[in-house]
Amino acid sequence: MLRKILIANRGEIAVRIIRACAEMGIRSAAIYSEADRFALHVKKADESHYIGSEPLAGYLNIYGLVDLALRTGCDAIHPGYGFLSENAQFAKACQERGLVFIGPSAEVIQRMGDKTEARTAMKAAGLPVTPGSDGNLDSVEHALQEAERIGYPIMLKATSGGGGRGIRRCDNPNELRQNYQRVISEATKAFGSADVFLEKCVVNPIHIEVQVLADHFGNTIHLYERDCSVQRRNQKLIEIAPSPQLEEAQRQYLGGLAVMAAKAVGYTNAGTVEFLLDSNGRFYFMEMNTRVQVEHTITETITGVDIVEEQIRVAAGLPLRFKQEEIVRRGYAIQFRVNAEDPKNNFLPSFGHISRYYAPGGPGVRTDTAIYTGYEIPPFYDSMLAKVIVSAITWEDAINRGERALKDMGLFGIKTTIPYYLKILAHPDFRRGRFNTGFVEANPDLINYSNKPRPEILASVLAAVVASHTGL
C-alpha cells in the first residue's frame, strides 16, 4: 500500500482526498499558493508545502510538483480534478520519476483527452457516436464544408476541451464563421492547443454519464449513471444518481456500453463515460473523463463504494474489491454545486469574506466543502464553494430533503446559487423528473426570488450571537 500521497490540487477535492488518506492510514501532503495560505486543505493535511506567490503557476508546474513529491518522501500523486488531472505529460513525468500517478496511464489520458481520437476509438469499439468531422479542422473553409455535410445546428469544439470551455453552438454558416477563431483562441488559452472539430448538435438532450472503475487485473465495473442535464452554458449545476428519466433496460444498456468503452482502451482507475440521449431515445457517446468527477459523491451515496479509496487502491496495484453483481444501488441522491455567484446578475462571481457559515445536517445530508466562517474566498479559482449532497429512498423524498438541506445552510457575506436551486426544486417539471440540458434556458423566470434572509437562518444567527456572549 502507498505510504504518502502528494495532493496536487486545492479546495474541497483536496480535503476529500485527505480524508480518504486518513481512513487508509496514508500520510497526506497538501500544496498551497499564497492565495491559499489559510485554506482548509492546508489545515487538514498531515503536512503542507508552499508552491509560490502566483495563484495558478504552482498548481500547474508539472516538474516542480514531481520534484516536490520526491523531496518530501511521497510515493504517489493524486491530481484530483481540474488543473493537471487530465494532463498526459504530468502522468508520464510521475511514471518516469518512479511516482505512482493516481489515475489511468499517460497513454490512455492522451488518447481519451483528444476528443477526435476518442471518437475514433469508440467507433471502433462499437459505441454509438454523434456524426461529426473526421479529425481536426484546418481552416474555417474546411469547417463550413464539414458543417454542410453534417447539417446544422453543429457544435464547434476544442479537441482538448473540457469543463464547458472551448465549445460553441452554431446554427448557420455566419455563426460558424464568427465562432471559429473565438473557439480556437479560447482553446489555445485554456488547453494549450488550437485543434478544433465539429460535432452534430443534439438539441436539448438528456446528459447521462456512467461511472466506471477498472483495475490492472482486467476487472472493469460500472457504478450506474448520473443525470447531469441541469446545467448552464455547459456547466453542471445539479447532478442526480441514478437518473429518474431512464428505464431499467436503458440503464443496463448504458452500463454495458461504458464498461465496453473502458475495456476497449485498456482503462484503469476511476473514469466517467458521458452520453447524450436525444428526443428519439437514441444514445450517443460524447466523451470520457479520465479522472474523478466533481459529482462522484452521489454515486458513492447510492452504491456505498468509496470511489477515491478505490482510486488509491487500484493505483497501488490492488484489485477491485467488488464484482459487478455486488454493486447494488439504493434510492436517489442529488448534488447541488453551491457557487459564489449572483444568479440575478447574470451569475456574476461573488468572491469575498464569509462572515458566517452553517453547514446543513440531518439524515441523508452530506456536505463536501473547504470553506469556514471567516474564510476569504480568493478570486483566482473556480466559484464552487461547496457540494451539498442529499439522499432518500424515493425521488420525491430526495427533492424534499434537498429543499430542507438548502434552507438549513447558511452562507453570509457573499451571494450564492442556493436561492436559485430552491426555485428549481419547486419547478413542476423538475419534481416530475422531466428535464434536459435546455431546462435552465427555458425557465429564465427561476431567477425571480426574494433576497430577504430566511427566518430559520436569522434565528440561527441570533442564537449564535447570544451563545457567544453568554458562554453557552
Catalytic residues: 291
Contacts of 419 (CB under 8 A, 6+ apart): 343, 449, 450, 451
Contacts of 376 (CB under 8 A, 6+ apart): 38, 352, 353, 354
| Parallel, antiparallel or unpaired: strands 4-7 and 27-32 | parallel
Please give the C-alpha separations between residue 2 and each of 8, 279, 316, 360, 381, in angstroms, as whole numbers: 16, 47, 6, 34, 30
Residue of 276, 275, 322 whose CA lies nearest to 303: 322
What SS3 class is residue 372?
Answer: coil
Return the axis-axis angle of helices 455-470 and 395-408, rounded to nearest 10°: 50
| CA 236 – CA 229 distance, rounded (Å) | 7
Q: Which residue has the cell 453483481?
A: 325
What SS3 class is residue 468?
Answer: helix
Do 145 and 183 contact (CB within 8 A), yes or no? no
Residue of 265, 333, 335, 321 whose CA lies nearest to 106: 265
| CA 297 – CA 314 distance, rounded (Å) | 19
Do 289 and 274 contact (CB within 8 A), yes or no? yes
Please give the C-alpha separations between residue 467 and each of 361, 455, 458, 461, in angstroms, as whole numbers: 20, 18, 14, 10
Bridge partners (DSSP) of residue 209 are 226, 274
| CA 174 – CA 281 distance, rounded (Å) | 31
Q: How far is CA 131 from the centre of its chain?
A: 26
| CA 65 – CA 93 distance, rounded (Å) | 10
Neighbours of 432 (CB within 10 A): 12
Read off the amino acid at residue 201. C
Give per-residue burial for 35-51: e unless 16+ CB within 10 Å, then b.
Answer: bbeebbbbebbeebbeb
